[in-house]
Amino acid sequence: MSFQTIFEIQQSMTVNNRRMVGQQVARSGYITVAQYLTAVPWVFTIQPHAYLYYPQVRSVIQAIDNKDRQLPENIFFQSSNLSWFMAYQGDIPSASFASVVLASTPSANTQTLSITVPTGSGFAFKAGDFIMVGGYTYKVTADVARASTPVSVGIHRPLIGLPASGTQVFIGNDCVIQVVAEACPTYTLNPMTSGAFVQWDAPFVFREYIT
Q: Tens digits of per-residue pLDDT, 179-206?
A: 999 999 999 999 998 999 999 999 999 9
Spatial distance between the Cα atoms of 64 and 156, rounded to a whole number of angstroms: 31
Into which CATH architecture does domain 83-174 fall? Beta Barrel (2.40)
Over residues 82-115, the pLDDT tens digits come to 999 999 999 999 999 999 999 999 999 999 999 9
Taking the domains of the chain in order of start, what are their residue ranges?
Answer: 3-77+177-208, 83-174
SS3 48: strand
Closest CA to 140 of 101, 178, 112: 112
| pTM of the model as a whole | 0.91
Over residues 157-187, the pLDDT tens digits come to 999 999 999 999 999 999 999 999 999 999 9
**Cβ count near 82 (within 10 Å):** 18
Contact 17, 36 (CB under 8 A): no
Pairing mode, strands 187-192 and 195-200: antiparallel
User: Where does 163-210 show beta strands of DSSP type E?
Assistant: 169-171, 176-183, 187-192, 195-200, 204-208
